[in-house]
Amino acid sequence: MIAPSVLARIPGCETGRTPERIAALPGGKLNKSFRVDTRAGSFVLRLNDDVGALLGANHRREARLHRAAGIAGIAPELVYVDDAERFMIMRYIEGATWKAADYARPHNLRRLGALLRTLHGITPPAVAPFDLGAILRDHSAHLIAALPAERRMLEGLLMRAENALAPCMGSGRKETIVHNDLYHANIVEGERAYLIDWEYAAVTDPIFDVACVLAYYPAAEPYAQDLLEAAGLADVSPPELARARFVFIFLSFLWYQRRRLTGAVAAEDLEAERMLLQRLDG
């Protein structure tokens, strides 16, 4: 049930008018999203899950970075953001989301790289700083407290990740807006490609968007150079990219582990966690 006070923030429903249609949208592992059609157009209402903040989401930072990307034409127009960070409203984009298999196609990766080049070229607004090392340490500390039998493994992986992260943070590259969660369902092909769900977005080294893709989708690895070149990051060396990828694989593994502690998760998420650990051990 969507509260009337929330619906009233959607264009076309300001005076209590009933929407023409409300339909739940697929995708998203935490938040709930709905397409809402009104006489003023079609919109997406996203209700934020409180668990997101535990997993690294920052909705205040998200709103500023999403809005900047929307002005640049690579994110849906942001219509309204709740001050209490309970929900947000954006224009609905008609189109199809990517599939996991799309990351195994070099043409798609070059197109994604071009989109990232545009994103990384936006002048970033002032937002809260992004400290990836602190996020890794926080996740690890909570997991060690909850799963003491895994202390040795987690501490060892954390040390490796921090050693890999240090050179990345000292690269000298200009910090840019990064999406930080290039999961296939977060790319929508309308009249052009759009990025959605910016709750993990930040201002940091642009290499992390490429590392994110390679961490999520090993099938993209043979075409990493295509992605780097299209994104304007051709000067990134293979060892540097490998370090950043390891950090993101570890971050993703921690995300899945910590989320599992908050309640039941789908079998596919358990399998994703297992595969990430296998890659960390490899």
Q: Contact, 212 vs 98, CB < 8 A? A: no
What is the identity of the amino acid at 123?
A: T
Same domain, 21 and 108: no
Same domain, 116 and 81: no
Helix axes 267-281, 238-261, angle to 10 degrees: 140
Same domain, 51 and 70: yes
Question: Which pLDDT belongs to residue 189?
Answer: 93
Burial 177-215 (b: 16+ CB within 10 A, else e): bbbbbbbbbbbbbeeebbbbbbbbbbbbbbbbbbbbbbb
Question: Which pLDDT belongs to residue 263?
Answer: 83
Same domain, 135 and 62: no
Distances from the Cα of 161 to the Cαs of 82, 144, 171, 205, in angstroms?
35, 16, 16, 16
- Read off the pLDDT of residues 160-196 as tens digits, 9 standing for 90 and up: 999 999 887 777 899 999 999 999 999 999 889 999 9
- Read off the pLDDT of residues 193-203 as tens digits, 9 standing for 90 and up: 999 999 999 99
Last residue of a domain, one of 71, 91, 111: 91
Full residue range of the structural domain in which residue 235 is found: 96-281
Question: Which pLDDT belongs to residue 127?
Answer: 97
- Best CA proximity match to 265, nearest among 100, 29, 27: 29
- Distance separating alpha carbons of residues 193 and 177, to the nearest angstrom: 17
Last residue of a domain, one of 36, 68, 91: 91
- Distance separating alpha carbons of residues 67 and 38, to the nearest angstrom: 22
Q: Low-confidence residues of the chain, pLDDT below 50?
A: none
CATH of the domain at 84: 3.30.200.20
Question: Which pLDDT belongs to residue 262?
Answer: 87
Question: Which pLDDT belongs to residue 195?
Answer: 98
Q: Contact, 187 vs 98, CB < 8 A? A: yes
Q: In what order do the strands lie in the sheet with 187-189?
A: 96-97, 187-189, 193-195
Q: How many helices (H) and strands (E) does the chain have?
A: 10, 10
How many C-beta atoms lie closer than 10 Å to residue 173's C-beta? 17
CATH of the domain at 224: 3.90.1200.10
Same domain, 42 and 138: no
Q: Contact, 280 vs 253, CB < 8 A? A: yes
Same domain, 43 and 164: no
Last residue of a domain, one of 69, 91, 113: 91
Number of domains in the chain: 2
- CB-side neighbour CA atoms (13 Å) of 125: 15
- Read off the pLDDT of residues 246-257 as tens digits, 9 standing for 90 and up: 999 999 999 999
